Structure 1
Amino acid sequence: MRILFVVRHHLYLRNYESTLKALAARNHAVYIASNIHDSRYINIIKTFENIPNIHFLPECAPIRSDVWSIFARFFRALQDYIHYFSPLFDDAPRLKQRACMWLPQWLANALYRLRNSSMVDQLKKVLRFCEKILPRCKAIDAFLITNSPDVLLITPYVDLKSQQVDYVKSARALGIPSVYCVASWDNLTSKAAIKVQPDKMFVWNTFQENEAIKLHNMPQSKIVVTGAQCYDQWFHWKPVDTQEKFYSKVGLKHDTPYILYLCSSIFIARNEVDFVRRWINALRRCGDSNIKNIGILIRPHPQNAEQWKKIKVTEWDNVALFPKEGEQPITSGLKEDYFNSMYFSSAVVGINTSAMIEAGILGKPVFTIQTNDFMETQEGTVHFRYLSNGGLLYSSTSIAEHVDQLSHVLLENQDYKTRIQQFIADFIRPRGLGYDCTPFVVDEIEAVYRENKTMENPRWRALYSCVRIACFPFAVVLLFVFAMKRLNKRDIQHII
C-alpha cells in the first residue's frame, strides 16, 4: 500500500512516529509531505533516517493560491467563527476571540449579535453551499495524481486558517480514500470546524467521538476510536540516568524530592512567569517543612520560553529551570530529559498542557490551580474540563488551597493512583489499558484501503458550476482587495 501523509509542518510527526514506523515495518510505502518546511523541526526528520519504506517529499505540499484562494479563506473563516456560537462555547470567550481574528471586526460584531437567532442556521447552510461550489485546487489535484496514494492521511486538518480541506476535496474527486487523524486532545474543541468530511476520522476516545458528532456533524459510521498512539512510548520508557545524575544535570539538591512545574503554551498562559513567582514564594513560606524545602524544577513550554529569560531562579534555594530554552522532546536525548523530569519528580503542577496527561501515565499526582489568571484558558476551554472532571487533576481555586493539597498528597496519600489509572484507560487507551494503540491505528488504515472508495457525487455538479460562474467576479474582487491591503501594509512608506 502506498500512503501519503500530509502534515501542516513536520512537528506533527512526533505524534505519529510509532504509527509511521509500524506502517513501514508492515512493508507499506509511506510518503510524507509538509505544507510548510521549517528548519526548526529538522531533528524530527532525522528520527526517520535510514528507515526503509519511509520517504520525505522534497517539495512543499501545495496550498491553494489561485483566484479562489481568498474567497475560500474568507468563507471558511466565517464558518469557523460561527462554529463557536454553539452553547458548548458559552464560557469560552478566548476561543471565540481567536476564531474571529481573521474577519473584519465589524462583521464579527454583527454576526455575534445574531448568534442566538435562526439566521445563524441559515447562514451555516449558505456557507456549506459556498464550500460545495468552490472548485477544487488544480495544484493539489496534480500533487495527488503525481504521488498516486492508495490512502491519504492528513493532520491537523482543523487548524484555524488551515487550507488542508482542499486535499480531502481533491482526494474524493480522484477516488482516493482520506483519513483525518486527530492530532491532539484539544483539536476538536479549540480549533476550526470540519468543512468537508473525510472518509474516516481517527479519534482518541469516546469524548472526541461525541465532539465529532455533535460539533462537527460527522456520521458515527465514519469515526474510529483508536486511542492515543502518540503516548504509547511512555508506557514502556525506562530511565537510563540515575536519579543523582539527573539531579546534577538540572541543578537540584540531591537530598530532597522535587515538584515539576510544566509550563503551558503562549495561548494558555502568556504571562506565566508572574504566576510561577507567586507560586514559588507561597511554597517557600509554607509551614510544612517538607513543602517549604522541596526542590522545584520548571520546564518551559517550547513555544512560550522567551518570557523565562526575565527570571533568575537563583533568587530561590533549590529551584532550577530546565531546559532553559524549552525543547520539543523529539530526539532520543530530548525525550530522555523530558521523561526523566517527570519520572524522578514527586508531583507535577501545571495550568493546562498535554504534558499533564503524560505525567498521569507515569502515575504522578497532577495538580492545577484555577485562579483568575487563567480562567479563560482553563474552564474556558472544553478540553481542560476533561482533565478537571475526569479524575486526572487535583484542582484548587487558590495557591493557599493548592499548598494544602500538596502537603496532604505528598504524605504518601496514594488514593489518586486508581483515579488516574481510570482516566488513562478512558481517555488514552479506551480499547484496553494493557494494549498499545499504534497497532490499532495501523490496522484501521489498512481497513480504509480495503473499503470502497468514496467518489464525488455528480448529482448537483451542473448547479454548482452555474453558481460558481456567478460567484467568480466576487472571488476576483476579494483577491484584489486582499492584494491592495497587503500592498498598503508593506509598502506604504515607499508609496509616500
Structure 2
Amino acid sequence: MKTIFLFIPHYVFSSDLLHTDFIKGLSKSYQVIIFSPIFKSNPPENYYQSPNLKYIIWSEEYPKFWLFFTKTLRLALIREFDQLKYFQLRRLMKINLNWQRKLLRTISWFIPRKLLTVDFFTKLEYWLLPASKKFRAYAQKYHPHLIITCTPGFNSIDAEAIIQAKKLKLPTASINSSWDNYTANAVQFRKTDYLVSWNKVMKKEAIEIHHYPENHLFVSGVYRFDHHFQHMNSTPSPNDSGNANAPTRIKQRLTREEFLKNKGLDPQLKTLFLTTVPPNTYPPQYEVWRQIIKMREEKKLREDVNIFIRLHPNDLAEKYTEFQGLKNLHIELAGKKLETTGSSPHKIEMDESDLDNLRYSLKYTDININFRSSLSLEATIYDQPMINIALYDYANRYDVDWYIPIIKSGGVKLVVTAEELKQAINDYLTNPKLDSEGRKKIFADYVIFNDGQSYQRGIAAINSIISQLTP
C-alpha cells in the first residue's frame, strides 16, 4: 500500500478533510500519515480511526522564518501580481503597510518587476531554510509517494512542508484552497507540483496567473459542500433511526419547525440569516446588525422576522452580548471552540453535527446577509436570496478579482446604505425568487457539482497524480 503525507494547518481544514468522507475514502486506498498542530488540543482519538491512518502532532519548526518571508518580504517586494484588482485595492487602502513594508515597497520600484517573483522567493526559501531532521526521519521511515498540503504554501505549516519536500525531491500536491486564494494569496504561492481546485474558474486562474501546466491541474468540487447533496440525494431507511451505523446526515432529519424551535425562533416567521466576518475584515458589521434589529423593532420591514446570527470562527462573541435575550433572535458559533494552534488564529472546528447544523441553517432560513463571504456560494445550493452589505463606504472592498463575477452575475444585491438594505430585505421577503437566475449562474460557475461526490473526485485526482509519478 502506498503512503501519503497529509498536512493539516488548522481547524478550517480539519473540518473539511477530517470530518467529511474525504479521509474515510482516502484511507481505503493509502496509508495516510496526518501531520497537524491541532492534535495538541483535540487528540487524534476524536477523529476517524483506521489501521491505515496515523496522526502525528506537528508544528512548523521555523515560525519566525515564515513570518518574515510571508508577512514582510513577499507582501512588500513581489509586484508580479500588481495587475490583480485585489493588490490594487491593497495599495489604494494602504493595507498593513508598516514602516518596514513601506521601505521595502519603495525599494521594489527600483528592481525590475520580473525579477521579484513568487518563484524567486520560493528558491530563496529553499536555499535559506535549514533542512529538517524530523521531516527527513519521517520520510525515511514511511517512504511517502506524495506530500499533500491543503494550500500551495499560504500558511507556515504548508509552506514548510512544501519546501522540505522539495529538499528531499518528494512530489507535492495542494488539494483544498478556497475560491479566493489564487488571487488574494497570490504572493504567497510556493508552487506544488500538482494542484486540485474547487472549480474551473480556479483552474483557469492557476493556468493564467500562476502558469501551471494543464496536465498538473484537477477539479474536484468543494469537499465541504458534499454533505448538502448527500442529504438531498439520500433516501433514509425506515430502520436508520435505530441503526448506529447509519450515516449521521441521513439519520438526522429535522423539520423546519423543529429546527427553528430548537433555536428559540418562531416557525411562523421568516428568518434573516446574518453571517459575520472577523472584526478587522468589516468593522462596521456590528452597527449594521443593530440597524437590522432596529428596522424590525420599528416595523420598517414588510413583516416580522426571526434574526439568526452565525458567528465567523474569528469573530468576537463578546461583541454580541447586547443582543442576547432579544425575542426571536438567536446567536451561535459556527462550531466547537477549541484552543488555537501555533501561529493560526483559527479556533473553531466543525464536525459532522456542525455541518448538519449549517445545512439546516441555510435550508430553513430565508435571506442570507453577509459581507463578501464564501457563504454567497453555499447559499446558492438552496437558491437562498443574498444581500451583500457595504455600508459605511466599504463598496470598494467588493472590487476584487474573486468577487467581481459574483456581483456581475446578478445573483446578489449589493447595498451601501441603510435604506438600500431595508429595501433589499423587503424585496426578498416579497419575492424570494427574485435574482434566482443569477444565483443559478453562481452555482454553475463556482459550486458546479451536485452529486455529493467531490471527495471522490479529490481522491481520484490523487490516484491520477500517483499513477503519473509511478514508473
Counterpart mapping for 1:246-395 below 5 A: 246-285=259-298, 287-290=300-303, 293-315=304-326, 317-323=327-333, 328=348, 330-372=350-392, 374-375=394-395, 378-379=397-398, 381-395=400-414
CA distance, structure 2, for counterparts of residue 8 and residue 340 of structure 1: 28
Question: How much does 1:61 deviate?
Answer: 4.9
CA distance, structure 1, for counterparts of residue 447 and residue 275 of structure 2: 20
CA distance, structure 2, for counterparts of residue 202 and residue 185 of structure 1: 12
Q: SS of 2:413's equivalent?
A: strand
Question: How much does 1:350 deviate?
Answer: 1.0
Residue 52 of structure 2: aligned partner: 53
Question: How much does 1:276 deviate?
Answer: 0.8
* 1:51-109 C-alpha deviation (Å, 9 max, x unpaired): 4523212x3255237xxx74x653454123334661312123599634x5xxxx44321
Question: How much does 1:150 deviate?
Answer: 1.5
Question: How much does 1:20 deviate?
Answer: 1.6
Q: SS of 1:55's equivalent?
A: strand
Q: SS of 2:379's equivalent?
A: helix
User: Structure 1 length as normaliser, TM-score?
Assistant: 0.77
1:263 to 1:73, Cα distance in 2 relative to 1, 3 A: closer
Question: How much does 1:185 deviate?
Answer: 1.8
Match of 1:416 among 424, 427, 435: 435
1:211 to 1:418, Cα distance in 2 relative to 1, 3 A: same
The structure with the largest alpha-carbon Rg is 1
Residue 443 of structure 1: aligned partner: 460
Residue 185 of structure 1: aligned partner: 179
Q: SS of 2:307's equivalent?
A: strand
Q: SS of 1:4's equivalent?
A: strand
The answer to whether the 8 A contact 2:152-2:158 is kept is: yes
User: Structure 2 length as normaliser, TM-score?
Assistant: 0.80
Question: How much does 1:439 deviate?
Answer: 1.6
The answer to whether the 8 A contact 1:250-1:320 is kept is: yes
Residue 103 of structure 2: aligned partner: 110
The answer to whether the 8 A contact 1:81-1:96 is kept is: no
Q: SS of 1:289's equivalent?
A: coil
1:36 to 1:48, Cα distance in 2 relative to 1, 3 A: closer
1:128 to 1:15, Cα distance in 2 relative to 1, 3 A: closer
Residue 236 of structure 2: aligned partner: none
Q: Unpaired runs of 5+ in structure 2? A: 233-251, 338-347
CA distance, structure 2, for counterparts of residue 110 and residue 173 of structure 1: 32
Match of 2:197 among 199, 203, 206: 203
Counterpart mapping for 1:446-457 below 5 A: 446-452=463-469
Question: How much does 1:222 deviate?
Answer: 2.5
1:179 to 1:323, Cα distance in 2 relative to 1, 3 A: closer
The answer to whether the 8 A contact 1:6-1:154 is kept is: yes
Residue 149 of structure 1: aligned partner: 144
CA distance, structure 2, for counterparts of residue 451 and residue 62 of structure 1: 30
CA distance, structure 1, for counterparts of residue 415 and residue 93 of structure 2: 23
Residue 86 of structure 1: aligned partner: 82
Letter in 2 for 1:322: E
Residue 226 of structure 1: aligned partner: 220
* 1:423-455 C-alpha deviation (Å, 9 max, x unpaired): 1121122xx54563222111110111111379x
1:121 equivalent to 2:114? Answer yes
Question: How much does 1:361 deviate?
Answer: 1.4
* 1:250-269 C-alpha deviation (Å, 9 max, x unpaired): 11223212111111123423
CA distance, structure 1, for counterparts of residue 366 and residue 336 of structure 2: 21
1:189 to 1:158, Cα distance in 2 relative to 1, 3 A: farther
Quick one: percent identity of the two aligned structures?
17
CA distance, structure 2, for counterparts of residue 438 and residue 93 of structure 1: 38
Question: How much does 1:395 deviate?
Answer: 1.9
Match of 1:133 among 124, 127, 130: 127
The answer to whether the 8 A contact 1:30-1:55 is kept is: yes
The answer to whether the 8 A contact 1:6-1:153 is kept is: yes
CA distance, structure 1, for counterparts of residue 212 and residue 198 of structure 2: 15
* 1:162-213 C-alpha deviation (Å, 9 max, x unpaired): 2533322332343432101233222223336355422101111232223333
CA distance, structure 2, for counterparts of residue 450 and residue 434 of structure 1: 25
CA distance, structure 1, for counterparts of residue 306 and residue 126 of structure 2: 58
Residue 34 of structure 1: aligned partner: 36
* 1:273-309 C-alpha deviation (Å, 9 max, x unpaired): 222102222344454532xx11111112222133434
Letter in 2 for 1:92: R
1:148 to 1:357, Cα distance in 2 relative to 1, 3 A: same
1:63 equivalent to 2:61? Answer yes
Residue 19 of structure 1: aligned partner: 22
CA distance, structure 1, for counterparts of residue 122 and residue 52 of structure 2: 39
Q: Unpaired runs of 5+ in structure 1? A: 455-496
1:46 to 1:191, Cα distance in 2 relative to 1, 3 A: farther
| Paired residues, number | 433
1:145 to 1:392, Cα distance in 2 relative to 1, 3 A: farther
Q: SS of 1:3's equivalent?
A: strand
1:50 to 1:127, Cα distance in 2 relative to 1, 3 A: closer
1:438 to 1:201, Cα distance in 2 relative to 1, 3 A: same
The answer to whether the 8 A contact 2:269-2:305 is kept is: yes
Counterpart mapping for 1:410-489 below 5 A: 410-429=429-448, 432-434=449-451, 436-452=453-469
CA distance, structure 2, for counterparts of residue 106 and residue 18 of structure 1: 46
Q: SS of 2:453's equivalent?
A: coil
CA distance, structure 2, for counterparts of residue 392 and residue 258 of structure 1: 19
CA distance, structure 2, for counterparts of residue 54 and residue 367 of structure 1: 42
CA distance, structure 1, for counterparts of residue 50 and residue 382 of structure 2: 29
Question: How much does 1:241 deviate?
Answer: 2.1
1:283 to 1:189, Cα distance in 2 relative to 1, 3 A: farther
CA distance, structure 1, for counterparts of residue 306 and residue 225 of structure 2: 27
Residue 458 of structure 1: aligned partner: none
